[in-house]
Structure 1
Amino acid sequence: MQTHCSITIFGEVLFDCFPDATEVLGGAPFNVAWHLRGFGLAPRLVSRVGRDGRGERIRSAMGRWGLDVSALQSDPSHPTGQVSVTLVGGEPRYEIVSGSAYDFIDPPEPCAVSAMGLLYHGTLALRHPASAAALTSLKSRHQGPIVLDVNLRRPWWSIETVLPLVEDAHHVKLNAAELALLTADAPPDEDDGVALAASMHRFAESHRLETLVVTRGALGALLWRGGEVVSVAPAAAGPVVDTVGAGDGFAAVLLLGLSQGWPWAESLARAGDFAAGLVSRRGATIDDPSVYAQFLTSWGVG
């Protein structure tokens, strides 16, 4: 598949580290870049890893998958990012370890990253002033649409840091709970699509967004664009094996749709379709190119 524009992905890449010593490669921006490559595009990931074994494993994995590593920085002082997963009363508890390499991303050289096309980022990697400054520098010369994927992780966010990111973005994706956290509205019942649509309209209008997408899990998604809110039905229900990374898969297909000029409602329907396929599998990414090809074929865009 040929992309109609370049895609730059900014943010964290890390390992989820489990009590049994299992380590799973991830991080929302990394997952999004991985999926886009699976769909045949050539995104460029701007991130940072340590000069350690985990960093080498990330470079190797990206190389095998055909992902561009030219904007993946090496940090001599800080380790590759990790999330420490522990079990408390049988339930997992996640500690997003601070002081990781992706907290200290340097502004990429102008020749390393296109100033055109799509720029995608989340919120977690901006918890440290160094990476936040790098994104600000990148945005200062970027001339294409900016896509913000809100991912609020306590204690690594605040209203004061997230809302300016919304102001800079053209397209924003978040879930209903995150929308409630970023507004003065009382949290609407997710089943109450009317109240949620009204909250979306106020939020999108106040921040001058082009597009606002609110995901609702099994209820599908709502799309605000041009002052109108439309509901996108959920994908056909199937077995749920692992929900980790479903939102990243959803975001990747939205970017895919933007790069290919798909109608928004069509992009959201396909994003829900892909996310439903992801949760039926173990893991946040897929290392089989044929699976991505099957989705493209089913959408008639292979």
Structure 2
Amino acid sequence: MVSGTNDSKNTPPIVSLAAGGVAGGIEAFTSYPFEFAKTRVQLRSEKGIPTPKNPFKVVTQVYQSEGLRALYKGCGALVVGSIAKDGVRFLFFDQIKIAFADPQTGTLSPLRNLAAGMTAGVVASITAVTPTERIKTALIDDARNERRFRSGLHATQVIYREHGISGLYRGFAGTTLKQASATAFRMGTYNILKDFETKRDIPQTTVTNFANGSVAGTVTTLCTQPFDVIKTRSQSAHGASTIEAIKSILADYGFFRGFWKGTTMRLGRTVFSGGILFTSYEAAVKVIQPLYSGLTHTVGAQETA
């Protein structure tokens, strides 16, 4: 389990998957306005129309000019993707942690924590994140211009018809780099903090979990923002290759302003969402694991009888 180095051995894979999915769905829905604003800022703006840096101003402007429906366009894709992404991410992280643990002590060093998170991030990107992020970003981009996508399903059908499977995996390199590094820093930082607290008998409460998750979110944002900007540019409505995305970012804003575009907005989301994600995960495990244990015990008793 992500909550403790030794606990992962006692958390069945199905519990990690289910709890991660629940946590991912809750985190994506509650923090979506920040994600929407961040994505809008990272996409290429129309000439002569500057994009505000304040996320609340972005959300207010979109609501006033385009309505509530436009503001939440892409939310469904993000929630579905987050359920799959975080279910897979927590499942593989919990299992990979066991493989990466020191054979003598059963614990993970900070570097092994990061390596386990990076491996889980790559798996999550391949299995769930890239196509759902592509649809979410395309929907947000489309809502401000052409508005030809009626829904996430419709966007998926149009992109697949026009570009094939490669269209749904547009931005794969940037997304995978982002997911590998983000999962490494987020999961790794959270576990390093938790292991540090456990050794000093600091109680693991909801407040502690939220604080650890928020710190992990801050570290993740600052270290991985360039990959997030590249991913967003690659996954616009018409799409772009990773090289084209990098060139357009440099041409529009330069290195630092370009590759850390939307940092404030993403920071607002990840600090909040990091706390929500890990707190929800810990709570979900506490509910799901006893139910799973009871079910398996009942089935085992029936088979024995």
Q: TM-score, normalised by structure 1?
A: 0.25
Bigger relative contact order, structure 1 or 2 (CA pairs below 8 A, ≥6 apart):
2
Which of the two has greater helix per residue?
Answer: 2
Which of the two has greater strand per residue?
Answer: 1
